[in-house]
Structure 1
């Protein structure tokens, strides 16, 4: 490896300020690594979808990057195209891998989420950041309605949402066109999106029925408001203006919600886990970094960059910069202290710390090839229908959607 002067490119979707921060970190790696590796970060799009589309085109053209940000289901699709590699040999390598102490330092649920059920547990990516779906809520407004804490069960949630909507122009909850929003609610009602072994979609369970039925009721009563797809960050802006009481969204949005509130209603706000039916569950998000099939030198160099980004110092700095969770337990206190030292965060710094306790309830959606079209199906044929048709048969819709989803799963299964 030494003396090969390998250059690796890393495609991601972070904004320019994070690109500059990331490249400054990589410049440190470039100066200090003993192998002469040069790592360059590049913005490949504004969203994960943009990166996914660009990578698909690059694979077809034979010009994939050395490594890129990828959700588990996207990595599975790339693997089915023969384009990404299993990182297990690198992780276990005596010379270049991770020690037992290192592996124990990583949050186990974060590592587990990259073992792919469709490819016999191959690790098609490695985590350098994670976030989770949380419930953002307006503390002042909730108190005004007579509640001292956020709702812990769905019946109380529904009751509060409708009380909040009694004020003209105000709504209790923002309904988003987002399959992950749907999944988070299914999880918190004891359901799953896909069977644990990745063999079949199962979101037409009672948990799926209850999730859709509640959306349908709250939309029909005008207690909740639909956020149109075209209204980018609409839920965030409406929350910041004090027009919506509850939003379910990624914890990685914390700094942006803070900015929205500062610009808008300037009220006290916080985050909590979603309500549940007796057993908490959180939807663990987080694209990992996948390594593409190039040359043995490039693949090893890409792994060494990922390994370095996952070290305590780097994961702590990245989490502090972005609001993501660090991937190592040894970085937890560093990041919490950084947040507490920054007055911008206020009481949210304390709640950020709570998320580390919520990690134990983590679930992931569907780490299988073809989940992207299934996500579109969940929005188009479930969410979009029930919020506009109060008489739609929720169970029939779910059964039909699961049948289509399982057909997509079959079409994308490894051959």
Structure 2
């Protein structure tokens, strides 16, 4: 019987638990919307199985004497000042139907290959499940009502919140047992892949035929309007299984005011510059007259998998193989990233915040840098307000020794489930309408996600002008790297977090990094083999 690593055992015990992860902040009780419900109404509609390891017991004993893995608790959340409405005169007009879809096919016109005529769509009902609550749920209901009222086919969308990704997962599995799933879902693609078992193996439909259809699909310009990192993240083993609904990202928060006081006029572009600034901040706190902040001041360590992915990718790590068939953690790039991070810790230039949230510590000048998410920006703004701190701060990518900075992007997608041809096309048409630039602006304001269209970002830059950190994040979209989209990632991600916890244990040393990444590699392979 094979020995089982602690990384594997804790991954086996993990549940989806999106509510405790900052990825599920959009529009939920834990996420302060950028726009309240009344303002959204004023915007025109137009416009977890942790695996067996083969490593021997001695390695486990040395490397994995870990406490139970716990996610950082979510701090109390509140709503930031609302963003102004968008001037409808500056937005392109949009209706939930296409002129080319209304035209009757003729010998000189393109014809659809989907086998569904426009009249087949009349009074078709689409059940749409999503995870959002609060103001985001209100907006989704409004958008569905707008689509129902204005689409020329009389399609009816019934939108229903499942109260988070965990609730969505639980309710989906129950619906599959009843053979009564919805026709459209907003979820992470790897989560949806977990539903494809047994009789549900063909649950997710490929979207390429809809995307490229000459009547009902996108044109080339529309496809090119999606940032590549967002667009490609829903393609699994050559099949497009989703269309981006919104994207968040893990990045670094940076105290500009304090950095300038320390003599640094610009954010760090390389790991060495990052270390220089972090160490200077640590020395400043050690040498001041406040003994309570000794041993703080550099980078406030985060062991979340999204943070670790950002560092790995900045160091050149390609987490999936070239064919997306497996994981690559035991590489020189990942080893270099882990060795660098451990070195920051060993020199006192990075530290673990255990008593207070990283938002509170960052606002108290106990860190020049902190890892945070796009959707967590309002929490950090609020923390500065509560601390009475007037420092200017911004967001930056993870610095790279290769001149290729990175931010780790992730987020839910629209996934069409197998039903009748007419219902599938009706769901696709609603998705296509939801991803129009003006609707994406509304979704971004309600959820805190990046919009998934470049043209939406241009509109949003004006609407969110009073959110400087959020606007700064828009400029980093070009550095986005998507997280893995394999079904096993739902468990492997927790093993990555466990490796991060191990990396900063007091008994760990830099010369053990290769053994740690080998163990992580084996753990990921074992988890994938069980999926």
TM-score range, shorter chain: 0.7 to 0.9
Structure-1 separation of matches of 2:325 and 2:427: 31
Structure (1/2) with the larger helix percentage:
1
- In structure 2, stretches of 5+ residues that fail to align are 1-119, 286-291
Equivalent of residue 203 in structure 2, options 76, 83, 86:
83
Q: Are the equivalent residues in 2 in contact too, given 1:90–1:96 (CA < 8 A)? A: yes
Equivalent of residue 469 in structure 2, options 343, 348, 357:
348
Local SS of the residue matching 1:299:
helix
Q: How far does residue 296 in structure 1 lie from its aligned partner after superposition?
A: 3.0
- In structure 1, stretches of 5+ residues that fail to align are none
Match of 1:208 in 2: 334
Local SS of the residue matching 2:254:
strand
Match of 1:305 in 2: 430
Match of 1:263 in 2: 386
Local SS of the residue matching 1:301:
helix
Q: Are the equivalent residues in 1 in contact too, given 2:122–2:153 (CA < 8 A)? A: yes
Match of 1:196 in 2: 322
Match of 1:404 in 2: 523
- Higher mean Cα deviation, 387-396 or 369-378? 387-396
The answer to whether the aligner puts 1:176 opposite 2:292 as a matched pair is no
The answer to whether the aligner puts 1:24 opposite 2:150 as a matched pair is no
Match of 1:331 in 2: 456
Q: How far does residue 292 in structure 1 lie from its aligned partner after superposition?
A: 1.9
TM-score normalised according to structure 1 size: 0.86
TM-aligned CA distance change 1:306 to 1:260, over 3 Å = farther
Q: Are the equivalent residues in 2 in contact too, given 1:6–1:297 (CA < 8 A)? A: no
Local SS of the residue matching 2:409:
strand
Q: Are the equivalent residues in 1 in contact too, given 2:126–2:184 (CA < 8 A)? A: no
Deviation per residue, 1:275-295 (Å, 9 max, x gap): 101232332222211122233
The answer to whether the aligner puts 1:371 opposite 2:489 as a matched pair is yes
Q: Are the equivalent residues in 2 in contact too, given 1:175–1:226 (CA < 8 A)? A: yes
Structure-2 separation of matches of 1:63 and 1:177: 39
Q: Are the equivalent residues in 2 in contact too, given 1:136–1:246 (CA < 8 A)? A: yes
Q: How far does residue 19 in structure 1 lie from its aligned partner after superposition?
A: 1.3
TM-aligned CA distance change 1:92 to 1:178, over 3 Å = same
Structure-1 separation of matches of 2:171 and 2:300: 31
The answer to whether the aligner puts 1:142 opposite 2:259 as a matched pair is yes
Moved over 4 A (4+): none
RMSD over aligned CA atoms reads 2.5
Computing the radius of gyration from Cα coordinates, the structure with the larger value is: 2
- Higher mean Cα deviation, 141-150 or 78-87? 78-87
The answer to whether the aligner puts 1:287 opposite 2:287 as a matched pair is no
**Which residues in structure 2 correspond to 1:358-397 (within 5 Å)?**
358-359=477-478, 361-380=479-498, 382-392=499-509, 393-397=512-516
Q: Are the equivalent residues in 2 in contact too, given 1:23–1:41 (CA < 8 A)? A: yes
Q: Are the equivalent residues in 2 in contact too, given 1:2–1:34 (CA < 8 A)? A: no
TM-aligned CA distance change 1:208 to 1:101, over 3 Å = closer
Structure-1 separation of matches of 2:242 and 2:335: 33
The answer to whether the aligner puts 1:276 opposite 2:400 as a matched pair is yes
The number of residue pairs the alignment matches comes to 396
Structure-1 separation of matches of 2:526 and 2:139: 43
Local SS of the residue matching 2:505:
coil
Structure-2 separation of matches of 1:227 and 1:15: 30
TM-score normalised according to structure 2 size: 0.69
Deviation per residue, 1:246-287 (Å, 9 max, x gap): 122322333333233233323211111111012323322222
TM-aligned CA distance change 1:311 to 1:141, over 3 Å = same
Structure-2 separation of matches of 1:214 and 1:390: 17
